[in-house]
Chain A
Amino acid sequence: MTDVLLEFKDLGKNFGGVRALDGFDMQVKRGEIIGLIGPNGSGKTTSFNLMTGIYAPSQGEVHFDGADITGMSARKVYEAGIARTFQRSRLCLPLSIYDNIMIGNHARLNTGLWFNLFQRRALREQIEEFYTQARDLVAGFSTDLADRMFEPVGSLPMIERRRIEICRALISEPKLLLLDEPSAGMTHDETAQMMDDILAVRERMGDLSIIIIEHEMGVIERLCDQCVVLSYGRKICEGSYAHIAADSEVQSAYLGMD
């Protein structure tokens, strides 16, 4: 087993004439937290969408856990062990916390018609078994939330929704977790709480690799082992936070040329 979990080779994506991502090379090691940063429209979310099978890449390859997953469907990628959260929260608001987390657990749910309609006792056992798992997972973030498993997600504040979203991604025990702007729409205090949550997750699941897209540099500084900076679809810099913060090209990408 190699140390490298995920590798991009010359990854690129065109939307018509626009090169959203161009010749992107990147490696993620097991257990590593990578920060993916760059100005708006630099290709961060696009690279997430290429990894998770929402878009097919125009060029290049994605290797994950020893296998080539380039152009695989979203479902196959999820089954291979990549789970994600979305930039704009994509929870099912009318559904309960439990239901939302179970959507993330879909690979383990028995969705056979006969099983669901007629084997209600076996179904009940499965529902109760997963309930215990989901509750434990949520309790790791907030015990208060764990007591409200059957309330609709729409009634919760942003920070709790984000936690549910992370739980939904974690319940399937992925090898790689993709967080797309986890601090979006949160207050300063909530962002601090969220960082504690992510560090706690890492504590519990040592092997889990995480890629975070984030604009809040405080978050990147505190959480990430390595940073990758994108600008106009190209990688312009990578290394530790201190290294990229000192890089003049990164500074000009963010602040403009003087």
Chain B
Amino acid sequence: MSAASLWPLAVPALALLVTVAQRDVHRIATVARATALVLWALAIWALLSRPLGLWDPLALWFLLMVLVLTGFCLMVSAQYVEAEVAQGELTAAQARRYFLLFQGCVLSLLTIGAASNYFVVWAGVEGTTLTTILLVAMPGGRAVEAAWKYIVITGIGGLLALLGTVFALHGAQIPLNVTGFALAPAPVAGPAALAVQIGFWLALVGYGSKAGLVPFHTWLPDAHSEAPAPVSAVLSGVKLAGGVYALLRLLALTDSAVGPLWPHRMLIIIGLLTLALAAGALAGQRDLKRLLAYSSIEHMGLIVLGAGFGGLALAGALLHMWTHGLGKTGLFFSAGNVRLRFHSTSAPSVRGVLRAMPLTGAALALGASAIVGLPPFGLFWSEWLLLLGGVRAGYAVWVAVAVALLLAAFLGIGLRLPALLLGAPPKEALPAEGAVREGAGSTWVLGLELAALTVVGLALPAALHSVWLSAVRLGGG
């Protein structure tokens, strides 16, 4: 593995160049749609040919997720921004800046998955953060406050992650200019082991802030709720998972160098605390996007918990990255449709979504059913595997606590969402002549995502299943 593994970055890089040269919003949106199609084609190629000479299975698993989900986000971005420009919410210059930053974000996300070096992964995570901060700030008003909180917490976090990586590699006696991931370094003791442990702590704080783990999560609900909907989707569905992926890379190294016991315990504690905070906060949310943001915190806690349990639970955690990404991006796209129609995402301004926007309302209801872990959607199976793996690994008590917290989260979403979906919508939200069409072309994306979630829930396609199993083995599961 070498710099050649970064060649998929050429796609968003080229799209960036074309976007720079364009002024017309519709042409720029077309470039975004074309980029999405190329990313999906790339995903199909990577899935069928499994180029393991370029990427190891764990990297391939994450890369495939990025390719698929950022494709969805680009498609919906094109529709969303065109609608915002048509409504006068965005100027053409702002729309152009949006696409420049969004393509930069896609480039950074692909860097995380395609990289074969710890520092390049870190750079990808940082690039994603810096581009999305500017995207979050775009609407102005309260959004700039969210962006400031976001940059202070995750900016410091990113720098600590860099120091953590240096400490961990130095302690594990791995050259800092290593190409490829050190999967099984020799065990170390004494000061070297202490350096690895400090490194993992720092990385947990740093990448944990990127993933919205407690207690570094406070930027997340604000940033997600203030950002344009497709940005919230990419933040929640892909970017948060990027932080966890980077952490998993260092976890494998730490396990081999100093043993698996204490890093895994730390992950279990942080995972449960994150889950507990989110479960407690969900019931108090009146804003749809804040509700979804806290749900993302909950799911990141769950994924980290699975990584902490290890074994079969890690398989569940890796699958959960995908299933959560599919479900949550769809929900944020729906929230975007709601905002375009209601000019708000908060109760009581938003009510009766099912009557005002039947397709979006149905997608919200189905997406919420998926996200709380109901069958037949994929999240049911990933959560089941994760919890079963915890029991098998001897953490039955912690699994029981996690189940109780998941039930609390289920109730939180179950109590809040019907108030938005049911009832009579305000008159101004009913479709009028000249109003923006429901979803304006993104409903097929919602349908596709729900279908994919169902397929993953019923039977993971063989090619993806094979990559998944290899990734789990590589991750130590």
Partners in one complex: no
